[in-house]
Amino acid sequence: MPDKDQVSEPQHHEHIVPPRVYIVIIITLLCLTALTVVAAYIDLGPFNVVVALVIATVKASLVVLFFMHAKYSPKRTKLVIMAGIFWLLILLFMTLSDYFTRIDYRGVRFPMTQSISLGTSHRS
């Protein structure tokens, strides 16, 4: 029996996930992969990329939450994950703000979306 003077260390309890949860998650991931392929063949205009990124985000979230056990992890681990996502959002914000305010040497706004002519003209 431990003395009252000894400090008991907190116990870390492992969370055991039933195999059917993994089966449901893998089937969901396969369905989302099929949905990504189907969405690639549908012309949604500029929203093709948005749909693909939303599906990819859902798939990545499922992998992190269940296969990496983030759902059952301590609060400190969740804080580290959220800090990483926050840092990613900062980097994306800075990159996109640079891209949307960029003007090239010709004075063209959004130069990556403009077609570049090489000085040859096609006249009829």
| Pairwise CA distance, residues 121 & 124, whole Å | 10
pTM above 0.85, yes or no: no
pLDDT at residue 60 greater than cutoff 90: yes
Q: What is the pLDDT of residues 64-108, one digit of tens each?
A: 999 888 888 889 989 999 999 999 999 999 998 887 787 777 777
Q: What angle do CA 116, 122, 123 make, to 5 degrees?
A: 140
**CA 36 centroid distance within chain:** 14
